[in-house]
Chains A and B, each alone.
Chain A
Amino acid sequence: DTEVTQTPKHLVMGMTNKKSLKCEQHMGHRAMYWYKQKAKKPPELMFVYSYEKLSINESVPSRFSPECPNSSLLNLHLHALQPEDSALYLCASSQEAGGGREQYFGPGTRLTVT
């Protein structure tokens, strides 16, 4: 099973709302990632978790708050977003966060901020 699941598939939120994106994997992977992908652009790394600890934060604004409750789950809490934050948010996982590990992506959450 190489499946990463994400919920919701689509999300529309206002700039004053608080919402959360969820990601789950049951492959026993110990590294999980959040990426942001704008239309016709490549995915851009936001956060890396390794063994449930935040290991890389790519200078992401604090209105995005990641959380890794356990090794299978990864959340992204959203608050006071801007319209330019509208994008596809992809979660990925890999066996570990070291070199040479391929990442498996979930289907993404398409976020629209109004």
Chain B
Amino acid sequence: GQNIDQPTEMTATEGAIVQINCTYQTSGFNGLFWYQQHAGEAPTFLSYNVLDGLEEKGRFSSFLSRSKGYSYLLLKELQMKDSASYLCAGGFMNTGFQKLVFGTGTRLLVSP
């Protein structure tokens, strides 16, 4: 299987830091994507990790450990507009083509 697991819901305060964890099964794994999805809207691409380590993009950073089947998305200096669902997606190869398998998403609620 290609199960992707992440917490269902998290809450945090404006200005704080929050870490959203994601675990996946490593068979056929090719890379880890994070997407943000506001209610009723399409997912938007945030980050991609293929090698172990931390990738930083402004207020957002993403980490990957391939050996542990583990990733996290770190959001700093939280803003109200960061309230959204955050989708962890594993890239898995299928007959030479990449499939994205999404986790159930973590709904983040940022309060004042």
Residues of A within 8 A of B (CB): 4, 31, 41-45, 48, 50, 55-56, 90, 97-108
Contact = CB atoms under 8 A, between A and B. Distances in A.
Given A42-B103, A97-B98, 5 more contacts: A48-B97, A98-B98, A100-B48, A102-B33, A104-B45
A105 B44 contact: yes
Contacts, number: 61
Contact of A103 (B41, B94, B95, B100): B100
B79 interface: no
Interface of B: 30-31, 33, 35, 41-45, 48, 50, 87, 89, 91, 93-105
Contacts of B30: 99-100
B98 A108 contact: no
16 contacts: A42-B105, A44-B102, A55-B95, A56-B94, A56-B99, A97-B98, A98-B97, A99-B31, A99-B50, A99-B93, A101-B98, A102-B33, A104-B45, A105-B35, A105-B44, A107-B41
A102 B98 CA distance: 10
A38 B105 CA distance: 13
Contact of B97 (A4, A42, A56, A105): A56
Contact of A55 (B33, B43, B91, B97): B97
Nearest to B94: A56
Which has the most chain B C-beta neighbours within 10 Å: A42, A90, A104?
A42
A41 B41 contact: no
Contacts of A104: 45
Contacts of B89: 42
A102 to B, nearest CB: 5
Contacts of B98: 97-101
Nearest to A91: B42
A61 to B, nearest CB: 19
Contacts of B48: 100, 102
Nearest to A94: B98
Given A42-B103, A42-B105, A103 B45 contact: yes
